[in-house]
Amino acid sequence: MKQKLVLLLALSLLVPLHVSGNPGGVGNSLENMQCGGACHGDANQNATSNLQLGLQPSGTVWAGQPTEITVQISGFDTSHDIDQIGIFLLSSTNANNDIPTTDGWSILSDGMGGSNNYIEYASVDSNVLTHSWILRADEVGEKILYVSVHHGDNSGTDAGSPFFGVSQAFEINVEAIPENLQRIDPEYQPPASREVGESTTLCLKTIAASDVVIEWREPSGESYQVETTQNNGCWNAVLPPALSVSTIEWRAILDGEGPQQTTPWFSLASVEPTWEADETALLLQSIAHLVLFFGLVLLVRKPKRIDDEFKDYMEESL
């Protein structure tokens, strides 16, 4: 019996398993490029993606200021039949410590209500997919960004396999912002999400700005201005609540001594309220369960009588 068990274990280690991409995805998150092996199947068995990957910053990239980085992916109809795709924004192709935050970037918005470098699309409806991140570089100089994709394919000889692709290196020139140019405070962090039904009060700190206008819109829709007031060093504005799970975008238009400056569109996702646990209550509940368990053990355990113990002793002596 033992020999059969050993043989079965050996065969299970020797026989290669069928490897396919994770059909459910892993969700938007901060991921290194090595997630191609850990999340979507064995990286050594990945097939090569033929999608075309592009990246373009919107305008001048100032140090300490938010900038929009737009990724464009094309070739779906001609290269692959894809349902779901994962997109990575990377600072290197080392497959470790290659998240942009390890190279002096802050991820202010991933366009999905978070601050992640990896996002997933559950479906692709056109031949070209465009997605934008809002980043902020911490210093002047040349920086490198890459785009990587993981996906499946419903057709062809490699159907069902995990596909992987990575772009060329895209050089980003980060410039020093002129001293008198109006701008957002380099420490400002825009809100990324809120609960459905909640309005959002912005407190936007600026430098060298004499006037600020706040606009909001539904993605790619008509924009609306909201009343903006200045108080305690902040430009305050209230963004209206959402009645359902959805995303709106907002931006600031800054006037001052220099040319008018307009921030990228920041995404603000409205999500369902999350359940929050009371840690103290959970601890007390765990202690109560532990006490109950040991109490049941003591009640069920039947102690030996003295005469039984004496009988056992006499039998052992004989």
234 burial (CB, 10 Å; 0-12 / 13-18 / 19+) is: middle
Helix (H, G, I), strand (E, B) or coil at 295: helix
Q: How confident is the model at residue 25 (pLDDT cuts 50, 70, 90)?
A: low
**What domains are there in the chain, each with its CATH number?**
9-175 (2.60.40.680), 183-271 (2.60.40.10)
How far apart are the C-alpha atoms of 38 and 240, rounded to whole Å? 41
pLDDT at residue 148 tops 80:
yes
Classify strands 141-151 and 163-166 as parallel, antiparallel or unpaired.
Answer: antiparallel
**Residue 159's pLDDT band (cuts 50, 70, 90):** confident
Model confidence, pTM: 0.74
Beta bridge partners of 120: 86
Within the chain, residue ranges assigned H as helices are 2-14, 35-38, 76-79, 279-300, 306-317
Q: What is the pLDDT of residue 127?
A: 87
Tell me the three state secondary structure of residue 271: strand
What local confidence, expressed as pLDDT, does residue 310 receive?
47
Backbone angles phi, psi at 288, to 5 degrees: -65, -40
Cα distance between residue 38 and residue 178, in whole Å: 44
Whether residue 67 is predicted with pLDDT greater than 50 in this model: the reply is yes
Q: Which of helix, strand or coil describes residue 182?
A: coil
* Alpha-carbon distances, residue 121 vs 86, 125, 205, 311, 316 (angstroms): 6, 10, 34, 74, 74
pLDDT at 225 over 90: yes
* 169 band by pLDDT with thresholds 50, 70 and 90: very high
Tokens of 243: 């009645």
How high does pLDDT run on average in the chain?
A: 82
